Amino acid sequence: MKFFKPLLFLWLFILMSQFGCTASVRPTFSPSEFLCNEDKNTTDVSLYVTDEFREYSFKQTDVMDLKEWKLELGPATTDALRFALESRFENVSLKLGKPQFPVNMHAGSIIVVPSFCSVKQTGPVLFKFEKYHVTITLNVVIYDPEGKELKQLTITGKGDKTGSIGYDSAGHAALPEATRLAVRHVADQIIQHILELVNQ
């Protein structure tokens, strides 16, 4: 029995090599998804994202579909954070790279710098209709224009979606939605923390 598991993984590796497929998952968001009826805050906000953040992806093998999934989280999370901020603040700018302090902004403005901490993705093992789960954890540091750290957050978002039954890949419909929900969950929590900070 102790040799069974290594042999199983070897068999799966060989089988996947024959299939040779990697499927990309890149959820998309639109500004309208984040609209709300509340008045926008007048605080100026700059969202700084590095190339590493914007291009971040996560790969994992799906035993059920014999496929490697590539979750393109960087582009999706960048868009979600920008749209979420723009829905709640009057003046939001997206900046590339790391902030060089002091930043030329009005007193009372804030700088938001996110980074990926971890990603976990699980999927069906026995049946296609089992759920796909995606968990994303971000670290977010908020600064004032002089570079003073105002707050540091570690936020975890979760999403899940039931796989499909049939001959098609169970993950093609389920995994993108589970990923979308996890990214949206992260973005919504971050916005609430930022609003609490600026409204103190």
CB 28 within 8 A of CB 79: yes
CB 52 within 8 A of CB 162: no
Q: How far is CA 46 from the centre of its chain?
A: 19
CB 111 within 8 A of CB 145: yes
CB 90 within 8 A of CB 41: yes
User: What is residue 164's predicted lDDT score, i.e. its pLDDT?
Assistant: 66
Q: Which amino acid is at 38?
A: E
pLDDT in tens, the chain (200 residues): 554 555 544 444 544 443 447 778 888 999 999 999 999 999 999 999 999 999 999 998 766 666 788 999 999 999 999 999 999 999 999 999 999 999 999 999 999 999 999 999 987 766 666 788 999 999 999 999 999 999 999 999 999 988 766 544 556 678 889 999 999 999 999 999 999 999 98
- Where are the extended beta strands (E) located within 28-104? 41-49, 58-62, 67-71, 89-96
User: What is residue 24's predicted lDDT score, i.e. its pLDDT?
Assistant: 83
User: What is residue 91's predicted lDDT score, i.e. its pLDDT?
Assistant: 96
CATH classification code of 39-198: 3.30.160.150
User: What is residue 17's predicted lDDT score, i.e. its pLDDT?
Assistant: 42
User: What is residue 19's predicted lDDT score, i.e. its pLDDT?
Assistant: 45
